[in-house]
Amino acid sequence: MRVRFRGITVREVALIDGPAGWGEFGAFLEYEPPEAAHWLSAGIEAAYGDSPVPRRDRVPINATVPAVPAAQVPEVLARFPGARTAKVKVAEPGQSLADDVARVAAVRALVPVVRVDANGGWTLEQAVRAAAALGPLEYLEQPCATAEELAQLRRLVDVPVAADESIRKATDPLRVVRMRAADIAVVKVAPLGGVGRLLDIAAAVGIPLVVSSALDSAVGMSRGLLAAACLPELPHACGLGTGGLFVEDVAEVALPTDGFLPVGPVVPDPARLAGLAVPADRRQWWIERVRECYRLL
């Protein structure tokens, strides 16, 4: 990673070379098999299943700004040429609301549309204060941890509320919608079990969707772009530009053009695969994890 993101500096994934193409199994290391199995299902779908036909050949993406100091914001945004929307990480452990305000202000000086992502890190009271302090926002993504808190927050603030973890980590992803706890649904291919499952949810939720990445490699990112390209409507920029957060990737990463990324399959570069290969003990750990998760599918 170029900077620490989601608490990590190195990203590990397993790639599957199948008859239909390349798939990715990239459940974060701390995820237990019941949750990680959905990610394996997404990788198997990509490697062995049929892919839907996209409606568009490019997808608008947002810049992603980690919880960096405000002075570092221009450097981060330079990796997302043409982006008109930026998602800013807030509520980072060990940081203050003042840090968030400074970071958001630095982003807003360079990008016209700003959304923030708290990853459920605020209490209801903290979220209300943050909404007032951060200035105009496209939406607050997962400001609080529970769907109940999101529903309460919607009644207390004028900023739209987006649900992420309340959808992808829930046994019933549609519960947050039935509770009227979100204006926007943030969805990710891997945690939901694949492109097909994401499109099924999209047809059922009845609110706008933003397709986002799960810190995927170029292989996994291609599936997110495919899912976004298949949606009937795409009113918001998608969080599918996180490839710019990696120092190295398994394939050449396309840079955004005018804030858009192209849609299409990705084939890893053999030399990059060799150079990024994990040691034998880590490879075996992933093989065992595949076996354990596959039993649950």
Report the distance separating Cα 96 and Cα 93, nearest Å. Answer: 8
Beta strands in the chain (DSSP E): 14-18, 21-25, 58-60, 63-65, 85-89, 113-117, 140-141, 161-163, 184-188, 209-212, 260-262
Question: Is there a domain that residue 146 lies in?
Answer: yes
200 labelled ligand-binding: no
117 labelled ligand-binding: yes
| Long-range contacts of 151-160, Cβ-Cβ distance < 8 Å, separation of 24 or more | 151/179, 151/180, 151/181, 152/124, 153/124, 153/127, 153/128, 154/180, 154/181, 154/182, 154/183, 156/124, 156/128, 157/127, 157/128, 157/131, 157/132, 158/131, 159/131, 160/184
What digits encode the pLDDT tens for the residues 76-128?
Answer: 999 888 999 999 999 999 999 999 999 999 999 999 999 999 999 999 999 99
The reported pTM is 0.91
Per-residue model confidence (pLDDT) at position 59: 97
Question: Is there a domain that residue 2 lies in?
Answer: no
3-class DSSP state for residue 240?
Answer: coil
Per-residue model confidence (pLDDT) at position 162: 96
141 labelled ligand-binding: yes
Report the distance separating Cα 154 and Cα 226, nearest Å. Answer: 31
Report the distance separating Cα 281 and Cα 275, nearest Å. Answer: 16
Q: What is the mean pLDDT of residues 6-25?
A: 95
Range of the domain at 164: 53-270
297 pLDDT more than 90? yes
Percent of the chain at pLDDT exceeding 90: 85
Question: Is there a domain that residue 83 lies in?
Answer: yes
Per-residue model confidence (pLDDT) at position 19: 98
Question: Is there a domain that residue 208 lies in?
Answer: yes
Per-residue model confidence (pLDDT) at position 275: 97
Question: Is there a domain that residue 27 lies in?
Answer: no
> 258: left (phi > 0), else alpha (psi -120 to 50), else beta?
left
Question: Is there a domain that residue 291 lies in?
Answer: no
Question: Is there a domain that residue 153 lies in?
Answer: yes
Say if CB 184 and CB 163 are below 8 A apart: yes
Residues tagged active-site: 89, 188
Report the distance separating Cα 115 and Cα 34, nearest Å. Answer: 31
Per-residue model confidence (pLDDT) at position 225: 98
Report the distance separating Cα 211 and Cα 239, nearest Å. Answer: 6
State the total domains in the chain. 1
At residue 241 the predicted structure's pLDDT band, cuts being 50, 70 and 90, is: confident
What digits encode the pLDDT tens for the residues 125-182?
Answer: 999 999 999 999 999 999 999 999 999 999 999 999 999 988 877 677 788 888 999 9
Question: Is there a domain that residue 120 lies in?
Answer: yes
How many residues belong to the chain? Answer: 297
48: Cβ–Cβ under 8 A, 6 or more apart, which residues?
18, 19, 20, 23
Structure tokens at 287: 């093989």
CATH number assigned to the domain comprising residue 129:
3.20.20.120
